[in-house]
Amino acid sequence: MLSLPPVQKLLRPKLVAGSDAAEEVTSPWPAALSTLMWCRHDDLKEMLDSNKDSLKLEAMKRIVAMIARGKNASDLFPAVVKNVACKNIEVKKLVYVYLVRYAEEQQDLALLSISTFQRGLKDPNQLIRASALRVLSSIRVPIIVPIMMLAIKEAASDMSPYVRKTAAHAIPKLYSLDSDQKDQLIEVIEKLLADKTTLVAGSVVMAFEEVCPERIDLIHKNYRKLCNLLIDVEEWGQVVIINMLTRYARTQFLSPNQNESLLEESAEKAFYGSEEEDTKDAKAEAASLAKRKPYVMDPDHRLLLRNTKPLLQSRNAAVVMAVAQLYFHLAPKAEVGVIAKALVRLLRSHSEVQYVVLQNVATMSIKRRGMFEPYLKSFYIRSTDPTQIKILKLEVLTNLANETNISTILREFQTYIRSMDKDFVAATIQAIGRCATNIGKVRDTCLNGLVQLLSNRDELVVAESVVVIKKLLQMQPAQHSEIIKHMAKLTDNIQVPMARASILWLIGEYCEHVPKIAPDVLRKMAKSFTNEEDIVKLQVINLAAKLYLTNSKQSKLLTQYVLNLAKYDQNYDIRDRARFIRQLIVPTEKSGALNKYAKKLFLAQKPAPILESSFKDRDHFQLGSLSHLLNAKAVGYQELPDWPDEAPDPSVRNVEVRGAPQCIWDTLSSGTSSSSSEEEEEEEEEEEEEGSGEQSEDKEGEEEEEKRKKRKEKGGLRKVSPRSMGSEEEEEAEGKKVKKAAGPQGKKGHAETSSEEASASESSSSGSDSGTEAPTVVEAKRRKTVRTGLEGGWEDPCPLLTPLSSTFLPWSPREWAWWPTLSCGPWQLLSPAFGAVRTYELLHRMAGEGLSVEYCFSRRPFPGDPHMVAVQIQISNNTDAEVKSLRHNTNALGWKGTVVEGRWDTVAALCFQRACTHTRHFYVSIQPPVGELMAPVFMSENEFRKEQGKLTGMSEITEKLTLPEKCRSDHAIVQQVTSAANVGRVPCGADNEYRFAAKTVTSGSLVLITLEWREGAAAQLTVNSEKMVIGTMLVKDIIQALAQ
C-alpha cells in the first residue's frame, strides 16, 4: 500500500494527459486545432474567451474536473476570472469554485473579481447577495479584509435571514484570515446572536464557538431563546448549540448531583473494596448530607434539559450523541437513564457510528453502570462485527458486569473464546481477568476457566491466559500452588516470549510455594538461555537471583552459570542486568551495605496490579468530542468547566422588556417592566409544563389560581392603550366588559375568530442602537375565555387587551390624532391612500391544524412610533367541527415574542412570529412588500421636479412596460399603483403622466414614482430613490401590479 502512492504520482500525469486528449476529441473545438496549440490549456482559454455560454460551460466543467482530480489548473486564472460576471448561472458557479480554490495563490488577479461581488452584495435577489458574500468571504486574500468586514456587517442586518446566515458563516472565515478583527467580529456575533430565526441560530453559534468561545456573557441574554428555538434549528446547528450550551450550563448552574456524588463513591467502594468500612462511611455521609442545603434546580437548567430531550429521537446520530452528552454532564443522576435507549439505537447504524458511540458508552458505563444494564444483550457480539467494534463491545460488557449478571456474561465470553478472530479472543481473556478481579465471587471460576485455556491449541490464547493468570494469582498466591506448578510445566511447550516471561516471573516470585520445581525450571532455562528472547532472558536472571537468595544450596552454581552467560550476551541491557545482580546478591569485599538488603529488595511484597478499564476517567473530556475519542486534548478543545460552588446570578438571563416600547409604556404602566419579564418567564415555564406532562398539572393548579389573580391585576394596568389616550376610560370599560362576557361565550363558541393587530416596526435607524430588538405591540381581542385572552397577552412583553371587532379595523377619526407630526422635510405627510387592502396568508389553516392567520398592512400610522409600520393580523379558528379539541387548543394559544428582524439599512421589515398552541409551535413570517414600508407625502409638482433632479443616475431606475387592457384608465392605474405601494399622488400638468411620492417610514428617504403612458399600451415607469434596493424592488412590484 505504501509503495503505491509514488507510483500513482508517476502515472497520474500521463493518465490525466490521456483523458484530456480524449476529451478534446469530443469537445466541440476542432481536435486538429487543439493539437497545434503549444500549451495544453490554450484550447480551454479560447473556449473561455468565446461568446457562447455553452463553450464556456464546457471549458469550466473540464477545469473543475481537473481541480477535482487534484491537478493544477492555476495557469488558467486570468482566463477564468474574466467570466466571473457571466450571465449563465452555472458558469458563474463553476467560476466561483475555481476562484475559491486558486485565489490564495493568485492574489493580485483575484482582486479583479472583487467588484463583481461587491455589486452582487447589493442585488435585490437574496440568493445572489448570499452567494456573493459566500464567495467573497471564501477568497483568502488578506488585502480584502476591510471589504469583507464591511460586507459582513451589512449582511448581518440584511432583511433576508438567509443572507444573515451567510454572514454568520463568513465570520470565522474572516477571523481565520485576520484575527485582529476579533473585536469587530464579536460585535457582529453579538448582533446575530440576538436574531430570532432558526436559520441563523446554528450558524452564529458556530461562529461564536470559533471566534470567542470564552465570551460566555454574550449567551446570557440569548440563552432562553436558544433553548426554545432549538427543536426547530436544522440538525447541524443543533449539535453546535447543544455542545455550547453544555459548557454554558456548567458555568452557570449548580451540580444537580452534589448530594449524590458522595453516595455514588460509597457505592463504588462497596463494590470493589472490602465490605467492612461501609457502615462507618454511611454514617459519615448521612451527617454530611444533613449539612447541605437542599438543592433546587435553576428553572433555566430545567428548561435546557426539557427542550433537548425530544432531540434524542432525532434521526441524526450526531444530534442524539450531543443530547446524550448533555444529559450525562448536566442531568441529575436519576434522569440520565433516558439517553441509554437512544444510544443503543445508534448501534444499529453504520459501523463508524457504532465505533464512536461505543467509545462513549464505554466511558459512561463506568460512571453509570445501571443505565445500560437493561440493554446488556444489545452489546452481545456477533462474529460478523469488525474487530474494533467487538473489542469495544467487550469493554462495555466488562464494565457492566456485576454479581447478578456475571454468570450470563461469562457464558457469553465462553463463546467468544472460541472465535476465529484471535485478537478478539485475546481481548476476551483480558476481559475475563478484569471481571475476576472486580467481582470476588467469580474469581475462582474465572481462574479455573483460564487454566483450562492453558491447554488450548492456540498459542496466542495460552499466552494471553498466562499473562492474565499471573495477574490474578498475584492477588492470592498461597492458595494456588497447583496452578503455579501446572504453569511451570508449560515452559516446555509454550513459545510466546511474554507468556514464558510471565511464568518465570511467577515461579521466581512464589518459589517458596514450589520449592522443588523452581530449581528444575531454572536448570531447563539455563540450558536454553542463549536461544531465548531478551524479555525471557531478563526473567531467567531474575528467577536465578531469587532462587539464589532463597535456596542457594541448590541453585548457586546454576545462578553463576546463567550470570556468566548473560555477561557475554549481545544485548547490553542483559549484560548490565547480570552485572548489577551479581553485585547485589553475591557477597564480595567490595559489595557494600546493599548486599544485606538483597532479599528485601527482591522478595518484597508487591502489590497486585489493578486491572481497570482504559476508559476510566476519560469523562473529564466532554463526551462525544474528538478529544474524548482520542483520549488526548485535540487542538481547539474547549475544556468542560467544573460546576461552580456558588451559582452565578441567574438574573443575567432575564430578557429586558424591549427597548423602544418602554418609553411608551413607562408613562402608562410604570414600574412593571422588570417584573413583567419575570412573569413572562413564569408563564413560559408553566405553559411548557402543561404541554409536556399531566403529572405536573395538579400541583400547578394552586399556583395557577394565584397567578390568575395576579394577572387580573396586571391586566388592569395593561389594558390601557396609548392609541386611545383620549378615550382611555371608555376603552378600559370595554375591556372589562369583554372579559366578563367572555366566560359564557367560550362555551358557545363556534368558529370564533379573534383578531390581533400587531404593529411592528424597525427601531429608528438614526440611533446607534440599531441592534436593539424592535418593539411590537399586540392589541388583541379574544372572544374566548378570560384566561385565553390574558395568557395571550401575557406572553407578549407589552400586551394590550382592547376590544376590536373580529374583522379588520375600520378607520376611526380618533386615530388621526396620532398621525405623527413628523417634520423631516418640507413636505407634509399625507393621509394614507385607501384602497382595497390586500391580505396575506401567514399560516394556512391546514398547516396550523385548524388555526389560520392572515395579515394585512392597514396603512394606518402606528401610534407608538412614527418609524413603524402597522400590521394587522387576524387569527381565525376553522375547526368548528371539532369544538372540543378547539377549546383545548386555544386554551394555551399565545403569541410569543413578536419581533421585527429586518434592519437592513432601512429597507424593509421582516417579522418573524412564533405562534404557539399548546401542542404545536408554528413559525410564520411576515415579509412585507417594499411598497408597504413607506408613507405617502404631499408635494407640489415643482417640488417633485426639484427632488427628482437630485435623485438621478444611480438612484433612478427606469423600466418599460405594456399596460393590459383593463389598466388603461386613469382610475385603474392610480388604483393599481396605490395598492402596490403606500404612496400619495402628486398633481401633474401632463395628461399621460402619473406621479406619486412617498417616503420610507424608517429613514424618511424620498421615493418618487413617475409613470408615463405613451401610445397604446406602452408605458414607462421611473422610480427615483436614494435607496436603490427599495427602488428596484418597488419597480418590480408596481409592474407586477399593473400587469395583473
Minimum CB separation of residue 315 from another protein in Å reads 5
What residues from 93 to 122 belong to the interface with another protein (CB under 8 A)? Answer: 93-94, 96-97, 101, 104
Judged by CB under 8 A, the residue of 322, 400, 536, 742 near another protein is 322
Minimum CB separation of residue 677 from another protein in Å reads 26
Minimum CB separation of residue 319 from another protein in Å reads 8
Minimum CB separation of residue 179 from another protein in Å reads 5
Q: Counting beta carbons within 10 angstroms of the beta carbon of residue 588, is it exposed (0 to 12), middle (13 to 18) or buried (19 or more)?
A: exposed
What residues from 569 to 628 belong to the interface with another protein (CB under 8 A)? Answer: 624-627
Q: Does 172 help bind another protein (rule: CB under 8 A)?
A: yes
Minimum CB separation of residue 358 from another protein in Å reads 11
The Cα–Cα gap between 900 and 913 comes to: 8
- Write down the residue that cell numbers 427628482 correspond to: 948
Q: Which CB, 130 or 518, lies closer to another protein?
A: 130
Judged by CB under 8 A, the residue of 18, 515, 636, 987 near another protein is 636
Minimum CB separation of residue 245 from another protein in Å reads 14
Judged by CB under 8 A, the residue of 40, 45, 61, 82 near another protein is 61
**Would you give the distance in Å from CA 94 to the centre of its chain?**
30
Judged by CB under 8 A, the residue of 351, 476, 675, 727 near another protein is 351
CA-closest candidate to residue 357, choices 335, 384, 375, 330 = 375
Minimum CB separation of residue 71 from another protein in Å reads 10
**Residues paired with 777 in a beta bridge:** 759
The Cα–Cα gap between 1007 and 934 comes to: 8
What residues from 201 to 220 belong to the interface with another protein (CB under 8 A)? Answer: 203, 206, 209-210
Q: Is residue 895 helix, strand or coil?
A: strand
Judged by CB under 8 A, the residue of 16, 37, 45, 57 near another protein is 57
What residues from 676 to 715 belong to the interface with another protein (CB under 8 A)? Answer: 691-692
Q: Does 23 help bind another protein (rule: CB under 8 A)?
A: no
Q: Which among 52-60, 188-196, 548-556, 674-682 is the span making contact with another protein, rule CB under 8 A? A: 52-60
Judged by CB under 8 A, the residue of 47, 230, 321, 323 near another protein is 321
Q: DSSP state, 669?
A: S
Q: How are strands ordered across the β-sheet holding 921-926?
A: 894-900, 911-916, 921-926
**Residues paired with 921 in a beta bridge:** 916
The Cα–Cα gap between 922 and 945 comes to: 48
Q: DSSP state, 143?
A: G
CA-closest candidate to residue 361, choices 403, 332, 412, 325 = 325
Q: Does 380 help bind another protein (rule: CB under 8 A)?
A: yes
Q: Which CB, 432 or 549, lies closer to another protein?
A: 432
Please say whether the beta carbons of 1003 and 1019 come within 8 A: no
Residues 6+ apart with CB under 8 A from 919: 691, 849, 889
DSSP string, 231-277: GGS-HHHHHHHHHHHHHHHHHHS--TTTTHHHHHHHHHHHHHS-STT
Q: How far is CA 902 from CA 196, 199, 242, 934, 936, in A?
A: 11, 14, 27, 15, 22
Judged by CB under 8 A, the residue of 41, 134, 220, 480 near another protein is 134
Judged by CB under 8 A, the residue of 83, 116, 166, 222 near another protein is 166
Q: Does 387 help bind another protein (rule: CB under 8 A)?
A: yes
Q: Which three cell numbers stand for residue 522?
A: 531454572
- Name residue 358's amino acid: L
What residues from 441 to 480 belong to the interface with another protein (CB under 8 A)? Answer: 456-458
The Cα–Cα gap between 435 and 400 comes to: 10
**Residues paired with 872 in a beta bridge:** 757, 856
Counting every residue written for the chain, the total comes to 1044
Beta carbons within 10 angstroms of residue 1033's beta carbon: 20
Judged by CB under 8 A, the residue of 35, 258, 261, 313 near another protein is 313
Minimum CB separation of residue 195 from another protein in Å reads 14
Q: Does 315 help bind another protein (rule: CB under 8 A)?
A: yes
Binding residues with another protein: total (CB under 8 A): 120
What residues from 886 to 925 belong to the interface with another protein (CB under 8 A)? Answer: 919-920, 922-925
Q: Which among 295-303, 344-352, 715-723, 758-766 is the span making contact with another protein, rule CB under 8 A? A: 344-352
Beta carbons within 10 angstroms of residue 716's beta carbon: 14
Q: Which CB, 344 or 883, lies closer to another protein?
A: 344
Q: Does 169 help bind another protein (rule: CB under 8 A)?
A: yes
Site string for another protein, 826-855 (x = CB under 8 A): ------------------x-xx--------
Q: Is residue 875 helix, strand or coil?
A: strand
Q: Which among 67-75, 739-747, 748-756, 1036-1044 is the span making contact with another protein, rule CB under 8 A? A: 67-75
The Cα–Cα gap between 90 and 86 comes to: 9
Q: Which CB, 410 or 544, lies closer to another protein?
A: 410
Q: Which CB, 455 or 962, lies closer to another protein?
A: 455
Minimum CB separation of residue 887 from another protein in Å reads 16
Q: Is residue 760 helix, strand or coil?
A: strand
Q: Which CB, 185 or 1021, lies closer to another protein?
A: 185
Residues 6+ apart with CB under 8 A from 925: 842, 910, 911, 912, 913
Q: Does 418 help bind another protein (rule: CB under 8 A)?
A: yes
Q: Which CB, 291 or 457, lies closer to another protein?
A: 457
Q: Which CB, 412 or 905, lies closer to another protein?
A: 412
